[in-house]
Structure 1
């Protein structure tokens, strides 16, 4: 552009270009790396459990407590950090949440043998950090990128989260027998380094700064994103109109809270059950070693990456509401089919393994869209808090999911192949019902595709 000043309408046009600037790509890359390595720390416990469940003689109940403990932390972390990020900004919260879960994971490596209660307590701290990162990361990215690229770009930041699961599976299969469960946990210290590098490089969200009346800082932040001199930037019209902040502001969005909260709970319950018990289920049902189960489970990470890539792109074509509902309906059907055909084979391939993988494409792939959609339902002053409250409530599924199989199996019973197989069918049918509920619920959500952030939704729209 040749003019000396980039006026409001021009700034919006620049902010809406199809091609991201180098700094916008840097922001997306930082969010992508943070979200990916975060979930190594979160998922690694599933592989650690396969290594300690027999020598520690863990019951179903004890194993379930260890697996679900992080879910308690996620519920608290999502609600707390979302609220804090709306008040003090997104960037600082990103750094602190990453340090929280990485240091807690490293500390777990020092837990004494059979101290499963201490292991569970540290998992709560891990969850507190893990629950906070996405609810501050996603609004930060959304507030820097153009409306018509939001689903694809924000989806890209979470699309490689399953690589954290894949990394845990690969390291458990290859290095687990060598470095043991303590070594796998020490690797979880790795996110501390990028956390310390993000703060000096990435500025605060320009929309959040403008909402707080810090116009000059907002101009500098927007200039950084668009890579133009600050003198040429004027804030887009409406950015300085402050929207309400805090819990009361969220009560103005009852429909969004209900649809996204319940829907997220249903999807997270199903996904968390599979992620937490997956390696153990494969080992017990298929009769393979923990290392072989981890190697098989690694393929699910690739399935999820494919699902997240596909659904985040289709959300810009079909709309958020249609994509999320479709994932609920398809996931429900596939999980139910897997439940009733656990012991069957298609040639040499186990129906349980095949159904497990295809269902995962929908029930976990949906997370390439679902948090993007939720954040878009709220205004800037309550965006992180709204996402945090919905994700926090939904993350009760991270408790219910791991606990479900243990309750169905009998909490005091030891983990054995016979009892595990007997519990799979009723557990999976319950999960199928939850996915069906999610699919129906999201049909009542308002469509946000193509809307500018903070653009009001007219009451007559979307039924």
Structure 2
């Protein structure tokens, strides 16, 4: 089913238009400043993404420690890192569909439980059990892969249209703080990888926060629960239920399915799938292999790598915040294009100017600021390409297909490094091959998003 609502006229206050007409519920959302409850939804999405991606990024630090302790080869390290990506692919597709079927809140809850349980099991692995670690990372990835896909529509469906890019983008903007926390944790804890992994269980506390917020009102309407939708909107607006405006009219259509998605929304699905693949490939390779390259190819100490990646996480946060803000100023498409091209230039610099570790590090900062920084708007823009009733399904499937880059990137790097023990041999020449390829992919991704529907300033019901 599709929810349609007329465009909001100019408002003079939060209850009536200048023409004296009563505002609809979603016009009230657009007319009023953000409430504490709306900020709580945004905060929950931010905290969830930081917590889950703290665990996801942590495996990069853990593998850099285990290369010596477990005598990992380039291929075995690549498999461990790629399994996290495999789980992300499964999770994005699975949870996107379940969020449209059972609700954003329930799917969010199960994502948290999924990644916490598999993280906890990893703590008790025997030494050298890299295959078991790889299998458990699939489970962690399934949980992580769904959260960002769920949290963005969750936020989008509670906030004003004119600020939707920025506010929903905030769910992704602070993800690099997970990398910062991972860097700080490694610098404080040192080489105790089990204790590092154990920190990934703490986000189970998010379930207490989740219990205080309602389900998305637009999801409630899509399943015919208008009374619950009004209660959710009243909660968001911090108004009594009887002061919430009229809900938009619902037109019953064919129930959403993958077949319907492929037949009616193939173009945006293709754009998101290919575009996200291109943007994910290089940035995820750095997130997963960057620590190992800095330590074993360029000779930085474990402690120095931790400090350097604190800088990477800050640069990434700045880039994500910049893309989320810029998308509401110049539009989503040109933001995606400009960030992609600058990120590509960073990749080409890394490929051909890496005579020292510091030169490579500068390139990494540029790549993560722009190529990964674009994720401040990438998934929010992707979600806006689909109507309400298939938003999570479409975004989840598209991003899930694109997230196969999280498998390809680490495996590609592992094959380039080869079968020797990682701690004994990394040929710096692999950087030229890998980052030339990553740069070309970013150029392709930047161009592809120019063909997407521009959604700046449009309300969700018109998309």
- Flag whether TM exceeds 0.5 (same fold): yes
Distance between the aligned counterparts of 2:86 and 2:93, measured in 1? 11
1:202 partnered with 2:228: no
2:246 to 225, 235, 239: 235
Deviation sequence 1:134-193 (CA, Å, 0-9, x none): 11111111011111110110111211110101111111122124xx00000111101111
* Ranges of 4+ aligned residues in structure 1 off by more than 6 Å: 1-4
Q: Counterpart of 2:455?
A: 448
CA contact (8 A) 1:70 1:124 kept: yes
**1:45-444 equivalent positions in 2, closer than 5 A:** 45-177=59-191, 180-198=192-210, 200-239=211-250, 244-251=255-262, 252-344=264-356, 350-410=358-418, 412-416=419-423, 419-444=426-451
Q: Counterpart of 1:21?
A: 35
CA contact (8 A) 1:207 1:239 kept: no
Distance between the aligned counterparts of 1:148 and 1:18, measured in 2? 12
Distance between the aligned counterparts of 1:196 and 1:241, measured in 2? 36
* Aligned-pair Cα RMSD in Å: 1.8
CA contact (8 A) 2:152 2:169 kept: no
Distance between the aligned counterparts of 1:369 and 1:408, measured in 2? 32
Distance between the aligned counterparts of 2:369 and 2:72, measured in 1? 31
Structure 1 unpaired stretches of 5+: 457-463
Distance between the aligned counterparts of 1:197 and 1:7, measured in 2? 37
What is the deviation of 1:234?
A: 3.6
The TM-score normalised by the length of structure 1 is: 0.93
Distance between the aligned counterparts of 2:102 and 2:195, measured in 1? 36
Distance between the aligned counterparts of 1:399 and 1:72, measured in 2? 6
CA contact (8 A) 2:14 2:23 kept: no
**Counterparts in 2 of 1:18 and 1:263: CA distance versus 1, 3 Å:** farther
Deviation sequence 1:18-71 (CA, Å, 0-9, x none): 621111011111111111111011111111111111121111111101111111
What is the deviation of 1:243?
A: 7.0
Structure 2 unpaired stretches of 5+: 1-12
Distance between the aligned counterparts of 1:212 and 1:420, measured in 2? 56
SS at match of 1:190: helix
SS at match of 1:443: helix
Distance between the aligned counterparts of 1:243 and 1:86, measured in 2? 14
Distance between the aligned counterparts of 2:424 and 2:323, measured in 1? 35
Deviation sequence 1:248-275 (CA, Å, 0-9, x none): 2312111101111101011111111000
What is the deviation of 1:239?
A: 4.9
What is the deviation of 1:3?
A: 6.9
Deviation sequence 1:198-222 (CA, Å, 0-9, x none): 1x21111111111111111111111
CA contact (8 A) 1:71 1:397 kept: yes
Distance between the aligned counterparts of 2:200 and 2:303, measured in 1? 19
What is the deviation of 1:444?
A: 1.0
Distance between the aligned counterparts of 1:337 and 1:106, measured in 2? 40
Deviates more, 1:351-360 or 1:367-376: 351-360
CA contact (8 A) 1:211 1:240 kept: no
